[in-house]
Amino acid sequence: ASTEKMPLDSFEEFQPFSFFLTKVSDIPQRHNAMGAMNLRDILSASMGELKSSCHFNFMFEIPWLLKQYPEEFRKMPLLLVHGEQGRQELDIKAEADPFSNVSLCRAPLDIPYGTHHTKMMFLLYETGLRVVIHTANLISNDWYQKTQGIWISPVFPPLKSPAEKGDSPTGFKSDLLQYLAAYKAPRLAPWERHIQAHDMSAANVHMIGSVPGRHTLNNKHHWGHLKLKKVLSERGPDSGLVKNWPVVGQFSSIGSLGTSKEIWLLNEWGQSLSACKKEPSAILPASKLNLIFPSKDNIRLSLEGYNGGGCVPYSIKTASKQPWLTPLFCQWVSEGRGRSKAVPHIKTYTRCSPDGSQAAWFLVTSANLSKAAWGVLEKDRSQLMIRSYELGVLFLPQFFGCKNAFKVTSHVEEVPQSKIPIFPLPYDLPPKTYVKGDRPWFVDVPCVDLPDTFGTMWCPP
Ligand SMILES: CNc1ccc(C(=O)O)c(C(=O)O)c1
């Protein structure tokens, strides 16, 4: 409709954080009019005259993906980086075969149970290169009625001379090149060259990535939770400011975390996420860790009903081994963004003030709450073992013109005209604990007591 904003206008009004959610069908239009993009918006000509593109992801519907491009861009070179092996690799090759402009690159997954979870786009325009790091699979269902997060870079112009490095104070370009190098994939070489050839000095986020491996020595701190710990120890909040500030994790799946909360969640992962400048990282108490994970009723009453729980694959088998986790859970509540009923597939982590009005940092990433994604220390903490590819971006206040914390809100109507930068939260803070009688969502437990939005029950296969 002509009243609809051009995607580029939506993009420009939501700076400097450039952190968007996906548009959601069947919620009041005002919640899609501000700070929200769909895939057609991102790929639209108003965002740039495309020459070629590359998508890193876990799940693909190739015909649907091509239809999200404007007609004039649908025949341009498109590289898909995936993690499929064996029979599934034959399937994605067969799906790509009819499209002569689509080529595939398989990410090596040499450690069992690893996945290629990273969700990223490279968009090469006539005028430069744009990077998008997000949380949605390239399937229509992930872009229809879920809550997903998207960071969209500026258009990075070509370097004026090849002698220039073209990196930013956050080291985004060198971190991205190091991430790509880990694939050891010849088909990525052209995109490594494109990245090398562009001036990314305007990148104001830190990259927090994971690549499969047993990382040792100084490689240990390049990936997973030790990378986040390193950045927070060097550029994070002063311990004095955040002494009573909780760490909030929000995710759509959970791995096997051990027999007690101390082993990995608090004493390893929690210690990294609570790292501060100078202060030796104290152990995070459980009372200062809130984990936003959908309750059974969050799923039952969602726009998709119980089916929305299909992409929240927490199994009762895993959950039954870690009952100590349940007291840490909080509901998915997103009244400010109009997305309380849009199942969260986004993953985010933050250190926020108890009243939820400020944050010392904010991370949006593909990484769920699992050792496979974040890494687990082995061999007397000498190596960090990571199974999967993950990617996220970290927002730190000082890179956005703020002092040592940024104001945050999920009521984003105040964001565009604010004099000071306000970080647009995907959900309401402070977090709300589960209501009495509610339980975490388990994908493999039947729900036959109460019907969902559509009056149906959940009888998993
Ligand atoms: C085993 N495979 C997956 C498990 C969880 C997720 C998630 O993001 O929650 C995804 C994905 O959607 O990429 C894949």
DSSP string, 378-402: ETTTTEEEE-SBEEEEEE-GGGGT-
Residue ranges in 346-434 assigned as alpha helix (H): 371-374
Respond yes or no on whether ipTM tops 0.90: yes
Would the pLDDT of 374 be above 60?
Answer: yes
> Which residue from 142, 148, 252 has its CB within 8 A of the most atoms of ligand 1, so it is best to mutate?
252
The predicted pLDDT at position 461 comes to 86
Would the pLDDT of 179 be above 60?
Answer: yes
Would the pLDDT of 244 be above 60?
Answer: yes
Instruction: Report CA(147)–ligand 1 centroid distance (Å).
Output: 14
From the candidates 116, 117, 198, 206, give the one annotated as an active-site residue: 117
> Which residue from 140, 147, 253 has its CB within 8 A of the most atoms of ligand 1, so it is best to mutate?
253
End-to-end CA distance of the chain: 42
Cα(98)–Cα(375) distance, integer angstroms: 38
What are the tens digits of pLDDT across the range 313-370? 999 999 999 999 999 999 999 999 999 999 999 999 999 999 999 999 999 999 999 9
Would the pLDDT of 2 be above 70?
Answer: no
The predicted pLDDT at position 413 comes to 94
Cα(399)–Cα(234) distance, integer angstroms: 14
The predicted pLDDT at position 438 comes to 92
Does 117 qualify as catalytic in the annotation? Answer: yes
Number of H helices, E strands in the chain: 13, 22
The predicted pLDDT at position 283 comes to 83
Cα(47)–Cα(126) distance, integer angstroms: 11
Cα(4)–Cα(39) distance, integer angstroms: 15
Question: For 457, phi and psi rounded to 5 degrees?
Answer: -105, 175
Q: Which residue has the tokens 């991102």?
A: 42
Instruction: Report CA(311)–ligand 1 centroid distance (Å).
Output: 7
What are the tens digits of pLDDT across the range 280-323? 667 899 999 999 999 999 999 999 999 999 999 999 999 999 99
Say yes or no: CB of residue 58 within 6 Å of ligand 1. Answer: yes
Instruction: Report CA(117)–ligand 1 centroid distance (Å).
Output: 7
Say yes or no: CB of residue 264 within 6 Å of ligand 1. Answer: no
The pTM score is 0.98
> Which residue from 311, 314, 444 has its CB within 8 A of the most atoms of ligand 1, so it is best to mutate?
311
What are the tens digits of pLDDT across the range 185-231? 999 999 999 999 999 999 999 999 999 999 999 999 999 999 999 99
Average pLDDT, the chain: 97
Does 345 qualify as catalytic in the annotation? Answer: yes
What are the tens digits of pLDDT across the range 132-155? 999 999 999 999 999 999 999 999
The predicted pLDDT at position 3 comes to 65
Q: Which of 329, 324, 321 is nearest to 297 (CA)?
A: 329
Task: Give the side-chain half-sphere CA count within 13 A for 73.
Answer: 25
